[in-house]
Structure 1
Amino acid sequence: MWFKIKLYILFLFKSTNKHGVHSPFVFHLITKCFNRKTDLSQKNKFIKVKKWLLKDETILNVTDFGSGSKVFKMNERKVSDISKVAGIRTKNGLLLIRLIDYFKPKSILEIGTSVGLSSTALSIGNSNAKIISLEGCPNTANYATQLFERFNLSNIEVVTGEFNQTLPNIIHNKSFDFIYFDGNHTQKATLNYFTKCLKTTHNNSIFIFDDINLSKEMHQAWNIIKEHPKVTVTINTFYWGIVFFRKEQNKQHFTIRL
């Protein structure tokens, strides 16, 4: 906890807004995406799904293949509690919608479906995109699939199984425009997924890593990712690490307050 507080204080000192950015690409991203309001119809649809999840008392027996929960002590968990503790924050969910709307990726991969709230944001951002979402727990994956059907989010395919088994098959001979990493929040797993997914990138691909400052090892993983030769531009928003592979850009790292 104290490590995260320390990182947040450092983030506040280092971070800037659009006025401290000297990259036209990043400046445009901040002004036209980060700082604009989410389309009202998209926002309302996301809020509707989130409210549904926060009220759902369904109990799921969750199989956790990741780093484990620091909050939940039992595998039986209410959907409402999962959504409250592990679901994407509304502010980030709306930003995810705007990012997808701004870049308009056609092929999206999500590593870590959970009960489907982040997937919902991805789908709302671009209903024409093909979204593949990986989930380790069969019960959670089944719940998310039913949620997508209920809210007519027809462009999401959920693939169930441990990521080390499902990810290689999903990315084999494929490229992705956008990958959202929100699965196993450990340094080893994060770097493993990053390395595997590098082969799917093209010049305009975008990676987003959730919870880069969750722990010391996630912070270390983020620093390693930043220095990879294929990575050119990164943006640290504290909760997210956003990665670009644009060869026309000089290598630059930005710390942006949202």
Structure 2
Amino acid sequence: MLYQIIQYIKFFLKSTNQHGVHSPFVYNLVTKCFYDNTSYTEYKNIIAYRRSLLKNKSTIAVTDLGVGSSKIKSTARSVSKMAKHAGTPLQRAKLLFRLVHYFNSKHILELGTSLGIASQAMRLGNPKATIISIEGCPNLAAFTKANFLNNIMKPINFMTGDFKDALSNLTNNSFDFIFFDGNHTKTATLNYFNTLLPTIHNDSVFIFDDIYWSKEMTEAWEVIKEHPQVTVTIDTFYWGFVFFRKEQHKEHFKIRV
């Protein structure tokens, strides 16, 4: 926690808003998506789904394949506590919706389904998109899949198992949008990044959750930023955005969201 506080202070001092951005691509993304204040009707669905999870007192035996939750140590976890402490926060779920909507992403991959808060937001962002979501814990995956069916949400291809094994079968795909939200370790994060590089195209975007989770996650983020195929990155503290646009010079931004 102390590490994150120190890093946030450094981030705040170095970050800017749209007025410090000279790239038209990044400026439009910040002003038309990050800072979009539209009250989308889909937000009601996002709020309702998250609220239903917060009220759910049932427990799930969770198997962590990564570093696990920093706030919930028990393997038998209540859905309500996971939604509160480990699920995607409401404002970030809304941002995920806006991002998929803004980019009109048609082929989406999520690493770390959890309770499906982010999955639902991305589905609402583009109801016609093909979405694959991978969860390492079988019990958690089963709960979320059933929950989606009960809420009559449009299908998502839920996969269960170790990310490394699952990704080996996806490298022939092409993805517009990949959300990395699982196994917050340096080695795993870099392995997933390198494994999925063959799936990118010029307009693909990678989003890494919790880039300041730990010192090694920040180290992974710094390595990713310097990769020769990466041209633009945006650090919003909680998330790191990676773009591969060949028409742009290599630039790194720190944006307050």
Q: What is the TM-score when the length of structure 2 is the normalising length? A: 0.98
Within 5 Å, which residues of 2 pair with 1:1-258?
Answer: 1-169=1-169, 171-258=170-257
Task: Give 5+ residue unaligned stretches, structure 1.
Answer: none
Give the whole-Å Cα distance in 2 for the aligned partners of 1:147 and 1:77.
17
Give the whole-Å Cα distance in 2 for the aligned partners of 1:225 and 1:122.
24
CA drift at 1:38: 4.4
Counterpart of 1:5 in structure 2: which amino acid? I
CA offsets per residue over residues 173-206 of structure 1, 9 Å max, x none? 1110000000100011100100001110000000
Q: Is the Cα contact below 8 Å between 1:233 and 1:251 reproduced in 2?
A: yes
Q: Is the Cα contact below 8 Å between 1:14 and 1:255 reproduced in 2?
A: yes
Cα distance change on mapping 1:234 and 1:141 into 2, 3 Å:
same
Give the whole-Å Cα distance in 2 for the aligned partners of 1:38 and 1:152.
25
Q: What value does the CA root-mean-square deviation take over the aligned residues?
A: 0.9
CA drift at 1:2: 1.5
Runs of 4+ in 1 over 3 A off after TM superposition: none
Q: Is the Cα contact below 8 Å between 1:38 and 1:98 reproduced in 2?
A: no
Q: Is the Cα contact below 8 Å between 1:128 and 1:155 reproduced in 2?
A: no
CA drift at 1:37: 2.0
Q: In terms of mean alpha carbon deviation, does 239-248 or 146-155 score higher?
A: 146-155
Counterpart of 2:131 in structure 1: which amino acid? I
Give the whole-Å Cα distance in 2 for the aligned partners of 1:150 and 1:8.
39
Task: Give 5+ residue unaligned stretches, structure 2.
Answer: none
Q: What is the TM-score when the length of structure 1 is the normalising length? A: 0.97
Partner SS, residue 257 of structure 1: coil
Partner SS, residue 194 of structure 2: helix
CA drift at 1:216: 0.4
CA drift at 1:153: 2.0
